[in-house]
Amino acid sequence: MRLARARLVAGRELRAERAQPDGLAAALGLVAILVFTESLLVGPAVAAAPGIAAALLWIALALATILAVTRSFDRELEDDALEALLVLPDGRDALYAGKLIAATLLLLVVALGGTALTIYLLDLEVALPFHLLLVTLVGALALPPLVTLYVAVSLRLRARALVVPLLALPALLPQLIAVSAGVTAAIAGDGGASLAWCGLLFAAALASAIAGFTIGPAAIE
């Protein structure tokens, strides 16, 4: 029952995004702008160093996740739909889970697009493309649980734009380190390191998802 409601919220969210893809456009736009800006600021040789390219891409993706999830909750507030969802039985759980599923799918698209864009623009040679794909997939699972949680926590705050990055970015540091290192290893051709970082990333994704599902719904007002 809960899962059906969560699926309903996620489906509604994705339909809204398809009808008016402002979250997706903003997230993709942010990633593209940051990749362009980085290459201009540090020069293409430095920007194309695997460690720098991976770190910058995933910082951009973390910011893009914050942007997309914030936009998604904003839509509920603008339409006054939040109150209606919250009065349903298990409404908070369904809302958190639904938003999380939608954010994960959205981030997956943005991460794949952003990675392709980075490889194309910086002319990167990827030694292990399947490893890169795997790290990107797990990375897309690892960021949204905490971001959704922190956006939910600060939903009714006027200073939300300040609070969410302030809380979320330090909390995402282990995930960002793991995904950047995993991507760097995949680009450089170190399969063992890439898989090891991928495992750590998966553990972080699991821990943050459990924490999010346990206390996330309580944070939604």
Partner 1 sequence: MITTYPQAISGPRVLPYLAVASILAGAGALFMALAWSPADANQGDLVRIMYVHVPAAWLAYLSFVVVFLASVAWLWGRWPLADAIAVASAEIGVMFTGLALVLGSIWAKPTWGVWWTWEPRLITTAVMFAMYAGYLILRSLSSDFDRRATRAAVVGAIAVLNVPIVHLSVTWMNALHQLPSVLRPGPPALDGRMLSTLVVCVIALTIFYAYCMVMRVSIERARSPRP
Question: What is the DSSP secondary-structure string of 145-157?
Answer: HHHHHHHHHTTT-
CB of 174 to partner 1, least distance (A): 7
CB 220 within 8 A of CB 153: no
CB of 165 to partner 1, least distance (A): 9
Q: Which phi and psi (to 5°) does residue 28 adopt?
A: -65, -40
Question: What is the DSSP secondary-structure string of 126-194?
Answer: PS-HHHHHHHHHHHHHHSHHHHHHHHHHTTT-TTHHHHHHHHHHHHTHHHHHHHHHHHHHHHHT-HHHH
Q: Which of 61, 149, 186, 201 binds partner 1 (CB under 8 A)?
A: 149
How many residues at the interface with partner 1, by CB under 8 A? 24
Site residues (CB under 8 A) for partner 1, limited to 191-210: 207
Asked if 157 is part of the footprint of partner 1 (rule: CB under 8 A), the reply reads yes
Extract the tokens encoding 190.
Answer: 């170190």
**Cα torsion for 28, 34, 40, 46, to the nearest 10°?**
-110
CB of 20 to partner 1, least distance (A): 29
CB 68 within 8 A of CB 147: no
CB of 92 to partner 1, least distance (A): 12
- Of 39-47, 90-98, 129-137, 161-169, the segment contacting partner 1 by CB under 8 A is 161-169
CB of 163 to partner 1, least distance (A): 6
Asked if 216 is part of the footprint of partner 1 (rule: CB under 8 A), the reply reads yes
Site map 108..147 versus partner 1, x via CB under 8 A: --------------------------------------x-
User: Where does this chain bind partner 1 (CB under 8 A)?
Assistant: 146, 149-150, 153-154, 156-159, 162-163, 166-167, 170-171, 173-174, 207, 211, 215-216, 218-219, 221
